């Protein structure tokens, strides 16, 4: 068990942050242990199809025998939403002796034996993490961030309404708050860390399956915890229903959007819809202004066609 002693000042300094690097590190557990979180299996299949097997081997070797990740790989965010590359730049400056210490604390089987090997492993890991991030996580980070920010809004309200007791009450069964101490059960380490005025940093994570504090007792109190709302993250969006566009756009504009699989001029659209060209022109201006149509001149005529955004609105 790992526990944090939190005084009044520490609770007053409790804050939230997003950490794309930490979520990236936690996702390595899913790559290594597919049965850990079944809801991430669609993401895992997609990720493995785009990754170099050599990178997969190196990165999953950084996950310890009890699924802990070395602390040096996830530096404490200094801002609310740091950029992944900025976080990784801090990792690259980690002294080799700390790399060795943290890998041993996390029970990593391939812990380097000397500083030269530690520095080489650190740099290789950073290069592989950057390739990994850009290939499989950066494209979905905007969706992930929406889920994480929704969780933080929920947690902040819990804290405002019921204090620390309510904040931690439904975060995870392994967490318990009592008498000014936050206890995290079933951990690799077994130690107590007084916050001593340093506050507590809380970071929701898409790939966390349980609370994850720093492994080493020298680190200030922080906690990655499972975010709410993750179950729907990798679920495909339902196919759009063309009939649903009528109340959204109106019957005429929905019909126009459906017709424009191919470039057509105003007069032809008016003929097909049995309305005047001036009425069609008005609807076309609105749809074009909303980015749902593209247009190009062909001699005396202006041809309209659905834009990529219009295609996504009309069909999967």
Query: For 103-152, what is each residue's pLDDT tens digit?
Result: 999 989 888 989 999 999 999 999 999 999 999 999 999 999 989 999 99
The verdict on 124 and 46 lying in the same domain is yes
42 lies in some domain? yes
What separation, in Å, do the N-terminal and C-terminal C-alpha atoms of the chain show? Answer: 48
Domains held by the chain: number: 2
- If we measure between CA atoms, which residue out of 11, 70, 56 comes closest to residue 197? 11
- Least confident range of 238-247, 270-279, 303-312: 238-247
- If we measure between CA atoms, which residue out of 214, 188, 205 comes closest to residue 152? 205
User: What is the reported pTM?
Assistant: 0.77
How would residue 316 be classed by pLDDT, with cut points 50, 70 and 90? Answer: low
Q: What are 7-62's pLDDT values in tens digits?
A: 999 999 999 999 999 999 999 999 999 999 999 999 999 999 999 999 999 999 99
How would residue 271 be classed by pLDDT, with cut points 50, 70 and 90? Answer: confident
Sheet of 222-226, strands arranged across = 15-16, 201-205, 222-226
What is the pLDDT at residue 58? 96
Contacts of residue 97, defined as CB under 8 A and 6 or more positions apart, other chains included, come to 115, 118
What is the pLDDT at residue 300? 77
The verdict on 266 and 144 lying in the same domain is no
Tell which wins on pLDDT, 86 or 263. Answer: 86
Residues recorded for the chain:
316
What is the pLDDT at residue 297? 83
Range of the domain at 155: 2-232
11 lies in some domain? yes
237 lies in some domain? no
What the block records as the tokens of 223 is 């906690």
């Amino acid at each position: 068990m790992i526990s944090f002693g939190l005084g009044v000042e520490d609770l007053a300094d409790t804050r939230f942050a997003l950490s794309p690097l930490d979520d990236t590190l936690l996702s390595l557990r899913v790559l290594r242990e597919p049965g850990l979180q079944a809801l991430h299996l669609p993401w895992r299949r997609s990720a493995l199809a785009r990754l170099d097997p050599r990178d997969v081997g190196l990165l999953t070797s950084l996950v310890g025998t009890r699924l802990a990740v070395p602390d040096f790989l996830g530096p404490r965010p200094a801002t609310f939403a740091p950029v992944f590359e900025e976080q990784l730049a801090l990792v690259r400056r980690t002294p080799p002796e700390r790399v060795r210490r943290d890998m041993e604390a996390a029970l990593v089987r391939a812990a380097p034996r000397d500083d030269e090997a530690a520095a080489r492993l650190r740099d290789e890991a950073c290069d592989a993490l950057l390739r990994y991030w850009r290939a499989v996580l950066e494209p979905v980070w905007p969706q992930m961030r929406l889920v994480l920010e929704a969780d933080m809004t929920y947690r902040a309200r819990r804290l405002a309404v019921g204090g620390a007791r309510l904040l931690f009450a439904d975060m995870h069964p392994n967490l318990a708050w009592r008498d000014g101490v936050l206890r995290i059960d079933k951990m690799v380490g077994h130690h107590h860390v007084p916050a001593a005025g340093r506050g507590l940093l809380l970071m929701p994570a898409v790939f966390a399956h349980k609370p994850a504090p720093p492994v080493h007792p020298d680190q200030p109190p922080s906690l990655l915890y499972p975010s709410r709302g993750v179950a729907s993250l990798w679920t495909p969006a339902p196919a759009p229903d063309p009939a649903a566009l009528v109340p959204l756009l109106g019957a005429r504009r929905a019909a126009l959007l459906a017709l424009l699989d191919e470039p057509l001029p105003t007069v032809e659209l008016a003929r097909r819809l049995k309305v005047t060209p001036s009425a069609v022109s008005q609807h076309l201006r609105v749809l074009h202004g909303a980015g749902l149509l593209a247009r190009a001149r062909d001699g005396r005529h202006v041809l309209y066609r659905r834009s990529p955004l219009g295609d996504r609105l009309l069909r999967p």
